[in-house]
Amino acid sequence: MGCQDIQLAFHCKHSLAKIRKILNCFENSSFRSIELILNYTGSLTASNLRNLADKYRRISQLVVYNSPTSKSIQSPHFSMHEIIWTKDQISEELFAPVRSEKQFSVNLTLFCESQNFNTYLNRKVVIAANGEIKNAPNSKIEFGNYNSAGLSAIVNTKEFQSLWHVKKDDIEVCKECEYRHMCLDNRIPVKKEDKWIHETNCLYDVYTGRWNTN
Ligand code: SF4
């Protein structure tokens, strides 16, 4: 499929040895970056995760959810900003809304992509634990099963790719937001009465310029 970036989100609690074994599978792959979302165990300590990130330089994000405390530490290398432990559950971590300007990604590639494509969904494919293929982890629509239909047969269909083309400029409210070309908001747009909308509100109020995060 030519994917360059992959996110591995684990529901099970894996030992460090198992995590290393999984990461070894990607050593000779063409993946450029790997995001790891891990279920907390006592062995996921700062020093162990620093060592992991140091050994596997493709890791671009390392988040431990379900942790007894929330904290973050500096990563050992420049291609990843922080290693994060959060008390949140996996669903809250994966589907958290945009909460501040710090989460925006200001770069030319994203700016150009946002002119024609949805910056969250474009060229994204998710294989759920049961093999179902979806546009995103929080998407309700399943397009078929990886084990029976195969990945490319599903991903290359017009139906699967239709949301890729729903850019922020097409979506109510977002189309009036000054952040629309740098925002990676993870809500899934839906069409209602011939208009693209989101079913939940963004925490940023485009009309007052304030964040409703309290
Ligand atoms: S209104 Fe839309 S573009 Fe603006 S911050 Fe919220 S999700 Fe992003």
* pLDDT score at 97: 84
Q: How far apart are CA 90 and CA 136, in angstroms?
A: 14
Q: Is the CB of 188 under 6 A from ligand 1?
A: no
What is the reported pTM?
Answer: 0.82
Residue nearest to atom 1 of ligand 1 (CA): 174
Instruction: Quote the ligand 1 centre to 74 CA distance (angstroms).
Output: 28
Residue nearest to atom 2 of ligand 1 (CA): 174
Torsion 179-3-55-40 (CA) sign = positive
Give pLDDT < 50 ranges for the chain: none
Instruction: Quote the ligand 1 centre to 201 CA distance (angstroms).
Output: 9
* pLDDT score at 78: 65
Q: How far apart are CA 32 and CA 212, in angstroms?
A: 35
Q: How far apart are CA 194 and CA 188, in angstroms?
A: 16
Q: Which residues contact 142 (CB under 8 A, 6 or more apart)?
A: 128, 132, 133, 134
Name the token pair of 40. 């907390």
Pocket test for ligand 1, best of 117, 179, 203 (most atoms within 8 A of CB): 179
* pLDDT score at 34: 92
Q: Which atom of ligand 1 is nearest to the CA of 171?
A: 2
* pLDDT score at 168: 97
Q: Is the CB of 197 under 6 A from ligand 1?
A: no
* pLDDT score at 92: 72
Residue 108 burial class via C-beta count within 10 angstroms: exposed 0-12, middle 13-18, buried 19 and up: exposed
Query: What HEC string does 141-200 produce?
Result: CCCCEHHHHCHHHHHCCHHHHHHHHCCHHHECCHHHCCCCCCCCCCCCCEEECCEEECCC
* pLDDT score at 95: 76
Q: How far apart are CA 49 and CA 43, in angstroms?
A: 9
> Which residue, chain included where needed, has tokens 């024609």?
116
* pLDDT score at 3: 83
* pLDDT score at 172: 97
Neighbours of 184 (CB within 10 A): 12
Q: Is the CB of 174 under 6 A from ligand 1?
A: yes
* pLDDT score at 47: 93
